[in-house]
Structure 1
Amino acid sequence: MNFFIGNIPASGSIVNCLAVIVGSTLGLLFRSRLPQRYINMAFQVLGLFTLFLGFLMAQKTANFLILVFSMVGGGMIGEALDLDGRFSRFSEKVSQRFKTSGQSFAEGFLTSTLLFCIGSMAILGAIEEGLGLYPNLLITKSLLDGVSSLALATSLGGGVLLSAFSVLFYQGGLTLLASSLQPILSESVINEISAAGGLMLIALGLSLLEIKRFKVTNMLPALVIAAILGSFFVH
């Protein structure tokens, strides 16, 4: 399985796309017949696994000061730019616009596209695969998106199914872009990026478990800072 996936370009995005298709199809077939407690249990288990994966990735740093400065600096930049707030306001406007117009299909498509494509796991996962690593993050994200698409399709309809192709093109594009940067990214730089991403996954896992909500989107600039600091201070 590892060999098969690892030799197909953007294979993680393909798996993610298929997961959304399967989840949406099941949601459309059963239409709210699945008890909410089963969906809640699935999210709890996946939240725990996301925490586990985040802790593993965070340990890849060779210098804890780089990790600290990256996360603090990145978080402050994201907070100053209000990335999380901008995204929330944008998605809210889109949702309100289509609710008032009654276009449930378009609402389902846009809502699920925003949910599946904008976030740290989509970006980190695409970068991970683009750098030649096994797409662990995108496989994990596929499980999350599969469950989410099932729940969304039961209430928003067939537009959720169409969002699978948004996932494929968006994440696949990020993967190809990351692969073009591979020659200038050393293993030490990749490890620092992964460590910063690991802390974001821990924050995401805590959010999934409803322990505390973190503005993970505001932390995304930390990836750039980690790459810069890693290239200068880790050899």
Structure 2
Amino acid sequence: MIIGPYINSSAVLIGASTGAALSARIPANVRTAMPLTFGAASMAMGVVMISQVAHMPVMVLASILGALIGELIGLEGAIGKLGASTKAVIDKVAPAPKGITQAEFLEKFVAILVLFGASGTGIFGAMNEGMTGDATILIAKSFLDLFTAAIFAITLGYSVATIAVVVLAVQLLLAYGATLIMPLTSVPMIADFKAVGGLIMLATGLRISGIKMFPVANMLPALVLAMPITALWMRVF
């Protein structure tokens, strides 16, 4: 029975709802400092995943081609419009806290959408549970997401809670599709896939921390390319 996606999405929903409800009671220094910590945590997780790469050229090539595809199709722009629409609907019922501009909202919303819904940990965890029934990776991720969602909801409001739907849909699709995908993979393919996910998490951490606004959503196609390029690389070299 698949349980990880439900636990992870529930953690995002509960954390975001709690953070938004208590936003007025949270000190300003906490609102400022905690996203920096979560950004650093995302970067650290990304570095660990990158260090497990099997073929460095594959990671680089997949990342470049994936980012190019994302830029050409305007993936981040599309996600940004979705985020703006979500904010407009949610604000009619529960307005977001004041003090954040539309541009700042979209920057942070896209970053945390990638962090929650498209991180290498979440994707690999869902696929792993689908094949082995082991939900421990997603459960561990849920603890981090619970607090991360709460902190970001303090600034962004209840809109963060809608990301739980994306998390659930993506992870269920991967978990149930893993029975078809995983038999076609190898250890090096999974390692390179995780490394590409780690690179995206590193960029996400830099964005959350406000160091560099990487277009992280445009980098997501690299996850689709990672395994096929690894398979081709192993045949050729």
The two structures have a TM-score, normalised by structure 2, of: 0.75
Identify the match of residue 130 of structure 1 among 108, 126, 129. 126
Aligned to 2:230: 230
Identify the match of residue 93 of structure 2 among 104, 118, 121. 104
1:45-60 mapped onto 2 (5 Å cutoff): 45-60=37-52
User: 1:122 is aligned with what amino acid?
Assistant: G
- Contact 2:96–2:155 under 8 Å retained in 1: no
Gaps of 5+ in 1: 1-7
User: 2:14 is aligned with what amino acid?
Assistant: I
1:166 shift after superposition? 2.1
Gaps of 5+ in 2: 98-104, 130-136
1:151 shift after superposition? 3.9
Calculate percent identity across the aligned residue pairs.
20
1:149 aligns with 2:142: no
Q: For 2:160 and 2:72, how far apart are their aligned partners in 1?
A: 33
1:82-231 mapped onto 2 (5 Å cutoff): 82-96=74-88, 98=89, 103-105=92-94, 118-119=113-114, 121-123=116-118, 124-132=120-128, 134-135=137-138, 137=141, 139-153=143-157, 156=158, 163=162, 166=165, 169-180=168-179, 181-231=181-231
Question: Which whole-Å deviations, capped at 9, do the CAs of 1:117-141 have from their partners, x for residues lacking one?
Answer: 8425412343211232723555433
- Contact 1:74–1:221 under 8 Å retained in 2: yes
The two structures have a TM-score, normalised by structure 1, of: 0.76
User: Which segment drifts farther, 175-184 or 8-17?
Assistant: 8-17
Q: For 1:86 and 1:106, how far apart are their aligned partners in 2?
A: 23
Q: For 1:64 and 1:138, how far apart are their aligned partners in 2?
A: 29
Aligned length: 216
Change (3 A) 1:142 1:26: closer
Q: Name the Cα RMSD after superposition.
A: 3.3
Question: Which whole-Å deviations, capped at 9, do the CAs of 1:127-171 have from their partners, x for residues lacking one?
Answer: 211232723555433432232234444xx5xx766x476256324
